[in-house]
Structure 1
Amino acid sequence: MSETFPPVGAIDLSAVEPHIALGALDGRYRSVVAPLVNHLSEASLNRARVFVEVEWLIHLLDKKVLPGAPELTEADRTYLRAITAEFDGAAVAALAEIEAETRHDVKAVEYYLKEKLDAATDALPGSVLPSLHEVVHIFCTSEDINNLAYALIIKSAVEQSWLPLATAFVNDLRERATQAAQIPMLSRTHGQPATPTTLGKELAVFAHRLGRQLKRVATTEYLGKINGATGTFSAHVTALPQVDWREISRSFVVDVLGLQWNPLTTQIESHDWQAELYADVARFNRIAHNFATDAWTYISLGFFHQNLAAQGSTGSSTMPHKVNPIRFENAEANLEISCALLDVLAQTLVTSRMQRDLTDSSTQRNVGSALGHSYLALDNLRKGLAGVDFDAAKMAADLDENWEVLGEAIQQTMRVASIAGATGMENPYERLKELTRGNRVTEEQLREFIISLKIPAEYEARLVALTPGTYIGIAPQLLENLPKLETQPS
């Protein structure tokens, strides 16, 4: 009879205190992705909702939109803004308790703020704040608050956490490329020996590709709207027809919150900007994934040596000689998970039935996981890159075993010589193909072939002097225009 699992009578781990995380990001990798908690957690979302509600209240009163509403003092504004600034674990718990009754997250924020207004009686004797219950959430639908809150937390997460880490990784890659600018390396196209390059140039290709994507991410437009139940300002103009509601909306989104205003929406902000951002991050991820697999391959070939101390790795549990490239493998896996989530987000968020459905509400709660797996991968890529040394001697030995790659240089030079009037240069491709295809060609054989061509002396001298290690064109100079990226978006 087989044993059951969990064993009969085993402790229920779901009831253990403190609670055990279900997912890897909040469990095993919590310490790495912790910076994103300040931006993309449920608590951060609620803090952003509180922020939007508070600033909307202040905005309406400062613009004197509401007839008969009192003016705020500086003390009132300081008190209100402290509600957001001092949002802590107790605030999280208080909101959760209210939501347990309301069964509505944004309504819970509204009631929470009203409680804070009432508390001003003791903190600010004589303050008008306790009289402002009806100003809280006025002219707002839940999505007015949510779309702005999400824009704020995603913007802060990208600009303050993900983008600086991604930029630091690209700059690390750029630095290592510069270090390796002069190290010749055999290329492999289709997995076969091909025209040599330099390791630095190949690393620089990735730095350049990734840098382009970061520029796109850094210029993301974070859109927001605040225009009522179906985007028509209907309740607004019915109650206060004399107010320029479009300007009130625009100035709040742009001037107060620092977002871009979306003037034309349904009940929801259309989320197109999110789809654009996630597509850009996913593209960055895929290029980074390409780098991870190439780095893994270079380790396999012996071109990269892993520094055990830097990697912090035991290696295999049974084979003590092994140093597993776990940083790059971990990065691969997490980049794939991140891309899968980002793709789903980008695909689903641009669609909403009619004027609104709630699929986006559940979908957007996974933004933290999508960016979190990318963030974790970037941390591993930085550590993996920092933990490898380049073996120039191994790369040189690899080059020395593949003299046939000079066949390209010889046949192209023969063509040039033929065009210049030299005789005996016919069928250069076919002649080199006969010599090199499927054959290992030695240095001596290649030079004998060059001399046998009777090519003009100036061409012969260059070809005879050529080696696989020097056949790198202007690869080192190609790094000259590779810029160092700024760690903050412009």
Structure 2
Amino acid sequence: MAAAVASAPSNGAGANRVPKFDPKLDLNELTAVGPLDGRYAKSSQALRKTFSEYGLIRFRVMVECRWLQKLSQIPQVTEVPAFSAEANAVLDMLATTFSSEQALQVKAFERTTNHDVKAVEYVLKELFGRQPELARVTEFTHFACTSEDINNLSHALMLKEAVEQQTASPTTMGKEMAVFAYRLKRQRDLAAQVPFFGKMAGAVGNYNAHLVAYPDVDWAKVAQEFVTSLGLSWNPYVTQIEPHDYIAELFHAVTRFNNILTDFDRDMWGYISLAYFKQRTVAGEVGSSTMPHKVNPIDFENSEGNLGLANALLEHLAAKLPISRWQRDLTDSTVLRNLGVLAEPIQTVMRRYDVPEPYEKLKAFTRGQKVTQASMMAFVEDLHDLPAEAKEALKQLTPASYIGNAAQQARELPQHL
């Protein structure tokens, strides 16, 4: 019987065949992995340019370009002279109009670097190379920055842009609607009052690399000016990361807003069930597979479910993001760990004195190699482009002395409280 079925001809060309699966599906309502880009895409599409990976890359590019412009405004950083109107126009254009096609170039670089922020740096260096002034200072792209310096500012700008797109207060309909409108407006206003903080203080928040390269610059003042120039609030006390307390404040406010909406959804669902409100019928819509007369309060049901999912994520992030591990102990006696710390100032000083490809040279020297204190000192000595005094200063560095302005920050704490 099985053989007969297997050998039976089909009715027409492939009428009984299972369609072949195509793994390369275009993104649409049916192929989206999640409902935000699928079923509810029309409602969320305005946020794609902000919260997509393209949006993150766009903000990273903006921060990198603005930082290079800031360096050109610091008199002591003579290696990055003030830019002409033409050079600034190029940076302004990249900072404000970085396209999705250019973002794909970043992703192409990332397949090699396996590092998203470094990929942005390499693409920008390539683009800067097309303009003579910028080509001369490409190695100051990402100067003295840790990835978190770029990321924390990018995330703050993303959240700031998204909050600015909030819709107006809901329309009221009677006293009950007015209550919900007032409650929602209050939470919206509280969310709008949350400051968006940023930091630009290097790998441990003490401007270590900055001060090794340019000890006479007030880097805290520079960082404050730069962060506030992006429309963000400056956080003067940070570690490697911006502590993210403001994100928790924002997400808690959004969670409360969502809870009020959930209350609204349930009330509306109840009013409809009790026939206080009647839903309009729409031609072609089906409320039940078996009851043709039924009209479900589906929008309120979907809203309640999605608000629950959103709050689960927001509450987790609000609880998790402000908590981080201790900073590593910079006085650790493990040689390789110490040498890894000191690779940052060596690379930064190499950039100041225009040594070509400092990051790449250190990467080639350290990756897959046994690095000792002696071999690191030999590496410094072989940097023929460095002045003797710069070499000597690098040789004298230890993890215990490479602390930037940590002591000064501790002394100045009272004025920030």
Contact 1:45-1:153 at 8 Å conserved across structures: yes
The aligned counterpart of 1:158 is 163
Matching residue of 1:104: 115
Q: Does structure 1 residue 16 correspond to structure 2 residue 34?
A: no
- In structure 1, how many angstroms separate the alpha carbons of the residues matched to 2:21 and 2:318? 37
Q: How does 1:174-185 map to 2 (within 5 A)?
A: 174=172, 176=173
Q: Encode CA deviations 1:227-266: one digit per residue, 9 max, x unaligned.
A: 0100011111121111111100000011x10101000111
Alpha-carbon spacing, 1:34–1:306, altered in 2? closer, same or farther (3 Å): same
CA–CA separation in structure 1 for the residues paired with 2:145 and 2:231: 19
Structure 2 CA distance for aligned equivalents of residues 314 and 295 of structure 1: 20
Please, which runs of 5 or more residues in structure 1 have no aligned partner?
2-6, 121-126, 177-199, 357-490
Query: Structure 1 pair 313/213, CA: closer, same or farther in 2 (3 Å)?
Result: farther
Could you say which structure has the larger radius of gyration? 1
Displacement, 1:49?
A: 0.2
Asked if the contact 1:98/1:111 (under 8 Å) is kept, the reply is yes
- Within the alignment, does 1:144 sit opposite 2:149 as a pair? yes
Q: Determine if contact 1:279/1:343 at 8 Å carries over to the other structure.
A: yes
Distance between the aligned counterparts of 2:164 and 2:211, measured in 1?
Answer: 37
Q: 1:67 offset after TM fit, Å?
A: 2.1
The change in CA–CA distance for 1:314 and 1:9 in structure 2 (over 3 A counts) is closer
User: 1:292-441, aligned counterparts within 5 Å?
Assistant: 292-309=265-282, 313-355=285-327
Question: Equivalent residue for 1:234?
Answer: 208
Residue 285 of structure 1 is matched in structure 2 by: 258
Query: What is the rounded CA distance, in whole Å, between the counterparts of 1:334 and 1:8 in structure 2?
Result: 37
Q: 1:50, CA displacement in angstroms?
A: 0.3
Number of the residue aligned with 1:66: 77
Cα distance between partner residues in 2 of 1:348 and 1:89: 31
In the alignment, is the contact (CA less than 8 A) between 1:226 and 1:249 conserved in 2?
yes
Q: 2:27, 2:302 → 1: CA distance?
A: 27
Kept after mapping to 1: 8 A contact 2:265/2:303: yes
User: Greater relative contact order (Cα 8 A, min sep 6): structure 1 or 2?
Assistant: 1
CA deviation after TM superposition for structure 1 residue 117, in Å: 0.6
Separation in structure 1 between the aligned mates of residue 151 and residue 213 of structure 2, nearest angstrom: 23
- Aligned counterpart in structure 1 of residue 40 of structure 2, from 13, 17, 29: 29
Corresponding residue number in structure 2 for 1:201: 175
Mapped contact 1:268–1:355 kept (Cα < 8 A): no
- Say if 2:134 is the partner of 1:129: yes
CA deviation digits over 1:85-134, x for unaligned, max 9?
332232121011000000000000110110011122xxxxxx31111111
Q: Name stretches of at least 5 consecutive residues in structure 2 with no aligned partner.
A: 3-15, 329-417
Secondary structure of 1:140's match? Answer: coil
The answer to whether 1:270 aligns with 2:243 is yes
**Aligned counterpart for 1:79 among listed residues 90, 94, 108:** 90
Q: How does 1:38-49 map to 2 (within 5 A)?
A: 38-49=49-60
Specify which of 229, 239, 253 is matched with residue 227 of structure 2: 253
Mapped to 1, the partners of 2:154 and 2:284 lie a distance apart of: 39
The CA RMSD measured in Å over matched residues stands at 2.1
Q: Secondary structure at the match of 1:24?
A: coil
Structure 1 contact 278–346 (Cα < 8 Å) conserved: yes
- What is the alpha-carbon distance in structure 1 between the residues aligned to residue 156 and residue 106 of structure 2? 21
Amino acid at match of 2:271: Y
Paired position in structure 1 for 2:188: 214
